[in-house]
Structures are given as C-alpha cells and as structure tokens.
Structure 1
Amino acid sequence: MEEARAPNNGQLSQLPGLTHLVTGHDKDGHAIIQEERAAPWRTLNSQTSLHEIYATSKFPPNLNDDADMIESKQILATEDLGLVHPGGIICRIVDFAPNNDPMIHRTQSLDYGVVLEGSVDMILESGQVRTLRRGEIAVQRATMHGWRNRSKTHWARMVFVMQHSEPLILDGVALEQDLESFKR
C-alpha cells in the first residue's frame, strides 16, 4: 500500500503533497536524479492554489550545461509570473476547492489539462459544459473557459502544461488574453 504524503507547505487542500524529481546526467552520461524538492504552493484565492513545476522561456529549450534548470528557477522566482510565460512553457498543478467559483479566462496559449484527482467541469464561453474525470484531458486552444469542482466535499487536482502561442485571429480580429476574473 502506498504511503500517504502530507500536504506541502502553503498547499490549501489535504490532497497528497508533491515532490519534484528533475533528471540529468553524470560525468559518464548516465541518467541520474539531479534534483529532488518538495513543491512550493501559491494561493490564487481561498478556492484555488497553484504549484509551478517547471518553466522555460523558449521552445525548444536548451538542456546543455543545465541552462533550462537555471532558467526555470529564475522564472519561477519572479513575483509577476503569469499564467503563461511569453515564448515558453509552464507546467503547473492546480488544486480546486469543493464547489469553487470558476474563474472564466482566456490565455494566449495551447494548454493540456489533465485531471489527476476528482472530477472537474470545463465551462466554455458558449455555455457548453463537459465533466472531465481522473485521467481525462482537455486541450485548450486560446478559448474562454473556466474550471469548476462540483464536489461538495472533495478537492480536485489538475496538471496543466501551457505553451505560449501566436495570437489567435478569427475573421481578422485577434482574440486577446482575458484574465479579468483573476484580478478580483
């Protein structure tokens, strides 16, 4: 039976805490675990907390001389890290409180969202709602959307990989990033 992991510092939910394992190479070129650390969390509001795992500023990233590791630490240490990092990719975990208020937003990015714990409603600006369960994946393509955990008692968790994208143009008009609900 798997040992339960205590929540990390700053984590709002009581879901298992997270540990990062970053691989690299020894002097002989063999794969090794180069870094292991507990996950730091930041609170978005009382219903949502985020944990950024890794970030880059360009694609493809430069893995030579640990340039990507150095860059990721610098990006994640900034106070003004947005949901998307211009020119790069962010991997993050998001915990949603039971019966949370969804924050409807659009990012200028191609996002892969995978449900890890619980189930989450994907709410689209058109009014469409789809429930994603553990293991299901949503590919968000600069759409106006939000996430709702309908459970009355259990937290939900998703992992997102968000890649900055070119602006989306529809009928000659750019659909701009819209994060108004995050500014409350």
Structure 2
Amino acid sequence: MSTGKMEWQSLRRVVTSNDENGRSRVLIDGSAAKLIALEEAGLAEIWSAELSEKRLFDASDRLSDIDLALEPEAGTVKVRWFSVAPDDEEKTTEELEAAAAFAFGAVDASHCRVDTSRHPMMHKTDSLDVIILVKGAVDMLLDDDEATSLKPGDVVIQRATNHAWVNKGKETALLVAVLINVKN
C-alpha cells in the first residue's frame, strides 16, 4: 500500500559515458546529484550539460560544481525529478504565499514569480521544458487556462509560460523535467 510520501532515496540515476577506447560504460549509478525538499515537495537534480558536442563526451558530473537552481544556465540542458505534494486545504493564503516565496528563493528563482495572482506557485522560466508525469496526478494552471487530470505517462511541453503545478489528489506526484535554455 502506498503512503503517498515521496521517497527520494529510491530514485536512481544512471549516466553512461565512453572510456578512452570509445567503449560504453556506466559513469554514474546512484542517487540524485543534489536534492532540495520541504515536506513532500522538492526537486532532485539528475544531470546538466552544455548544449554542445564537446559536452556530450565530457565524463564529469557538472552538477557537483554548480549551485542548485530552478533554471538551467544559458546554453544548457538540465534534467531533474520534482514532486508536487497534495494541496493542504488547511493552509491560509498567507502561509501558501510564504511557502512559495521560500521555495523559489531557495532555488534562486524569486525573479521567476512574475504573476502569482492565480496561484502562489505560479512562475515563468526562460526555458523549453519537457515534463513527464511518472506517478500520481496533477493539474497545470496557466494564466487563462489549465490542463487538468494529468496522469502517469502524460507529457507537457511547457514553452516559457507562466504556470503552476497543483495536486488535488492524496498521493505525492512525481514528475521528470528536461529544461532547455537555448540562450548563448
């Protein structure tokens, strides 16, 4: 029976590489490079790389050298897991706003909160994001629209739009995000 709680330690990342002879091998087989979580909501970094052929063959784990941040740096791709906890209807608007401000501040993304009038977690990044729902269910709120009842296997292509993820269910939702910042 699922408790609905996010078990970050059970998530596994496997990164491949080529050795000096061009033979494929496993470079990393383990947990997330970095994790930030508060209760059931959080994000865990899997991989980050420059959008270049040179970086494709670099065997270093770039995440160990950079601070945890919501947005990928210019000219990079970032891959991560993130979770969305079920809504807590007992929290006041002020408590939700304070939690959102703290969460975005913790990942250097306070500037991404451009219009939170619809929901405290609304944010906009300058990236093309491919989001895949792995577990649970979520709704994606937009300024004037929404995509409801997203289920495991659903994919969202989020193109630098103001949005928020909302979980009206009982189970913490797990998603995988590929964020691409094409700016040089």
Residue deviations 1:62-96 (CA, integer Å, cap 9, x gap): 247x52x42x42x4443353322221110010011
Q: In 2, Cα distance between the equivalents of 1:107 and 1:83?
A: 7
Relative CO higher for 1 or 2, CA cutoff 8 Å, sep ≥ 6? Answer: 2
Matches within 5 A, 1:1-184: 13-14=6-7, 17-43=10-36, 45-56=38-49, 58-63=50-55, 66-67=57-58, 69-70=59-60, 72-73=61-62, 75-79=63-67, 81-99=69-87, 103-152=121-170, 154-166=171-183
- Asked whether the equivalents of residues 83 and 174 of structure 2 are also in contact (C-alpha less than 8 Å), the reply is yes
The 1:24/1:51 distance shift into structure 2, 3 A limit, reads same
Asked if the contact 1:110–1:163 (Cα under 8 Å) also holds between the matched residues in 2, the reply is: yes
TM-score (norm 1): 0.69
Q: What is the Cα-based RMSD across aligned positions, in Å? A: 2.5
Letter of the structure 2 residue corresponding to residue 13 of structure 1: M
| Structure 1 pair 43–156 and aligned structure 2 pair: CA distance change class (3 A) | same
Shift of 1:125: 0.8
**Count of aligned pairs:** 149
State the distance in 2 between where 1:34 and 1:106 align. Answer: 33
Q: Structure 2 regions of 5+ residues with no counterpart?
A: 89-95, 97-118
Percentage of identical aligned residues: 25
- Residues 34-56 of structure 1, C-alpha deviation per residue, up to 9 Å, x if partnerless? 22222255335445211010012
Does the CA contact (< 8 Å) of 2:139 and 2:146 recur in 1? no
Q: For 1:62, what is the secondary structure of its paired residue?
A: helix
Which structure 1 segments of 5+ residues have no match? Answer: 1-11, 167-184
Distance 1:86 1:144 in 2: 19
Q: TM-score, normalised by structure 2?
A: 0.69
Structure showing the higher helix proportion among its residues: 2
Amino acid in the other structure paired with 2:174: R
